[in-house]
Amino acid sequence: MQFKVDKLLFVDIETVSQYKDLYDLPERELDMWMRYYNSFRKKVTDESQIDPIMGEKDIKREVYRQTAAFFPEFGKVACVSMAFVTKDGEVRYESFYGEDEVEILLNTRKVFDKVESLGFDLCGQSVKMFDIPFLGKRFFINGLKTPKMFPTHETKPWEIRVVDTKEVWQFGNNWSLSSLDLVCSALDIESPKNADVNGDSVTTGYWEGKHEEIKEYCEHDVKGLVDIITKINNLQ
C-alpha cells in the first residue's frame, strides 16, 4: 500500500521536565511525584549518572531529570517540529519551540486544524503511543482544547488519522525492535541521532538555554520520518 506522502504531516516533539529541579515543584505536585518515585526509578536511562555515594535527595533529583520528560503530568513540550512534502517533492519544515509552552501548543493546534481540513493525516514514530497522548494531556493541563484531528476515548482504531512508522516497521509484531535510529540504520538512511543534542540531554540542554539546538535535533527526527516513508514508498 502506497502512502500519500503529500497528504501527510510529519511530526515529532521534544519534551522536558516542567521544572529545572525536582524540589522546585509546588508542594502538591512534589508529593504526587514522590508517590510514583519507584516507578520513575525504573525508567532511568543512564544509571552511570547515579552514584551510590549520592545522597537520597540528589538521587531523586537525578531520577527527576532523566524521567520527568516522559510523563505529561510532570513534563512539558519544548519543541514541536513538522514537515510536509509538496507535489514537487520539496520538503518544508516548521518548528515551534522555546520556553512558552502555551504558545507552542496554540501554534501547533493552528497547523493541525488547518491540515485536518485539507485531508491530511499525521505521521510520526510512536506518535500514537507518545506524541499524541503527551500533546493531548498538555493541552488539557494548560486549559486548552485539543486539535480537531486528535482521537478521543470514543475514536475507533480505524478512525485514527495517523501513520505510525513504528507500526509500519513492526509488520504487526508488537515485540519487534523499532526505534527511529534502528529503522534508519536498517534502511541505510542517515541517522537523525547524530547531533550534539540527543534524547538523554534534551532536558539538560533546555535548562541551559539550548533551544535552537533542540529545534535542530527535533527537525532531524522529522527528516528521518520523511526519508523512511519515502524509501518504503519507493519499494512498493
Contact criterion met (CB below 8 Å) for 218 and 13: yes
Q: Is residue 145 part of a domain?
A: yes
- 85: domain CATH number is 3.30.420.10
Q: Which three cell numbers stand for residue 56?
A: 537520597
Containing domain of residue 192, as a range? 5-18+74-234
Number of domains in the chain: 1
Q: What's the pLDDT tens digit per position in 52-68?
A: 788 899 999 999 999 99
Rounded mean pLDDT, 213-228: 95
Instruction: Write down how long the chain is.
Output: 236
State the distance between the two ends of the chain, measured CA to CA, in whole angstroms.
Answer: 7
Model confidence pTM above 0.85: yes
Q: In whole angstroms, what is the distance from residue 156 CA to residue 144 CA? A: 23
pLDDT of residue 189: 93
pLDDT of residue 135: 98
CA dihedral of 25, 18, 137, 9, whole degrees rounded to 10: 180
Question: At 195, is the pLDDT very low, low, confident or very high (cuts 50, 70, 90)?
Answer: low
Mean per-residue pLDDT of the chain: 93
Q: Is residue 230 part of a domain?
A: yes
Q: Is residue 226 part of a domain?
A: yes
Q: Is residue 61 part of a domain?
A: no
For cell 484531528, name the residue: 149
Question: At 102, is the pLDDT very low, low, confident or very high (cuts 50, 70, 90)?
Answer: very high
Q: Is residue 30 part of a domain?
A: no
